[in-house]
Structure 1
Amino acid sequence: MFRGVTQLSLDAKGRIAIPARYRNELASKCSGHLIVTADPSKCLLIYPQPVWEPIEQKLSELSGFNSRVRSMQRLLIGSACDVDMDGAGRILISQPLRRYAGLSKDVVLVGQGEKFELWDEQQWDLQIEEAVSFSEDDMPPELEGFSL
């Protein structure tokens, strides 16, 4: 399980260094082979390849006759890039994906269970502000009765 928030920097070539605490798990789980794709929230999703494959398969099997489904397939599958961690644990984020997510030099890698989200740091700060600003009246039904 990937969890936690890590502040990182994109280097001049568009690479980020995967935090050391995840490298061994990624090396054993997928030999460092990852999939980076766009998310509708304007962040990037980073999956170990074995986790991504069933998601891609399910998306591919959905009917293309629905324009909204087709749009989601275009975004998620069409934007997906295969990347490999190098010897220093870095991965290259392609220019089109960096542009899509509005990534600057300062980024945030957020563990989300079996995947990561990669956010521009300023956009991440806005997401956190939004997450803590809703009232009980705005509570999504899925969270009613949920307690920490």
Structure 2
Amino acid sequence: MADRGVGGMAGFLSYSLHRVDKKGRVSVPAQYRALLLNGDKSFICFPSLLGPWLQGVTPKLMQAFMERQNALGAFSGMVEAYPTLVFSQAVEMIPDTDGRIVLPAELLAHARIEEDIAFVGQGLYFSMWSPALFEEEKVRLRERALAERASWVTPEMAAGHTHAVNMTSGGEA
């Protein structure tokens, strides 16, 4: 789990747009650096298997993923697709004293990142996108979120008529 950042909130939050220079250097958002400096001081970056973006996770989260893998997988005679692709393309990123990292050309190409990069908080991890591609994805995400909302929102909630709950006694106010 990510350590507590500024204000005591744990996790990677917000959207932050940054410029990538010709050498692939980019500043990690200050909020993310605050989390990393309180914990691991680095993060692991790898191409998403789901689309043209990059995933950023703490070393602790990557270690937990490694531990969930089949301990005997190396002896099964089969190559495990997902962990092989993730681990073989993962790169440890250690921000310099100015908070910058250097993203390898292969990662930038996968995410179609040229001049700008969008850091997108996702709680325990974050993603890095071409800003234009993320704007397109937000439209799809909003549609999915509204469809998912319909499955957990009651008609009263949808109409704005929610009941207040007294949190101390557990009853209605």
TM-score bin, normalised by smaller chain: 0.7 to 0.9
Answer yes or no: is 1:92 the counterpart of 2:96: no
The separation in 1 between residues aligned to 2:145 and 2:27, in whole angstroms, is 37
**Amino acid paired to 2:36:** L
1:68-83 pair list within 5 angstroms: 70-83=80-93
Q: Structure 2 vs 1, CA of residues 9 and 56 (structure 1 numbering), >3 Å: closer, same or farther?
A: farther
Q: 1:135 to 1:105 in 2, by over 3 A?
A: closer
Question: In the alignment, residue 145 of structure 1 is paired with which amino acid?
Answer: W
- Following superposition, the deviation at residue 74 of structure 1 comes to 2.7
2:30 match: 20
User: Paired residues, what number?
Assistant: 143
Which residue in 2 is equivalent to 1:6? 16
Structure 1 residues 8-37: Cα deviation after superposition (integer angstroms, max 9, x where no partner) = 11111112211122322211210x221101
Unpaired stretches in structure 2, ≥5 consecutive residues: 1-10, 159-173
Q: What is the TM-score when the length of structure 2 is the normalising length?
A: 0.71
- TM-align CA RMSD: 2.8
Structure with larger RCO (C-alpha < 8 A, sep 6+): 1
With the length of structure 1 as denominator, give the TM-score of the two structures. 0.82
Amino acid across the alignment from 1:114:
L
82-91 or 17-26, larger mean C-alpha shift: 17-26
Q: Where in structure 2 are the equivalents of 1:106-121 lying within 5 Å? A: 106-121=116-131
SS of 1:6's partner is strand
Give the structure 2 partner of residue 50 of structure 1.
60
Larger radius of gyration: 2
User: Which has the larger strand fraction?
Assistant: 1
1:114 Cα offset (Å)? 1.4
Return structure 1 stretches of 4+ with deviation > 6 angstroms. 64-67
- Tell me the secondary structure at the aligned position of residue 82 of structure 1: strand
User: For each residue in 1:66-101, what CA deviation from the matched residue of structure 2 results, as whole angstroms up to 9, or x when unmatched?
Assistant: 98x833223211110012110001111111111111
Partner-residue secondary structure (3-state), 1:144: helix
Percent identity, aligned pairs only? 20
Partner residue of 2:42 out of 27, 33, 37: 33
Query: Which shows bigger deviation, 84-93 or 19-28?
Result: 19-28
Q: Distance in 2 between matches of 1:135 and 1:43?
A: 20
The runs of 5 or more residues in structure 1 that have no matched partner are none
Evaluate the alpha carbon distance shift between residue 34 and residue 135 of structure 1 in structure 2; reply closer, same or farther with a 3 A threshold.
closer
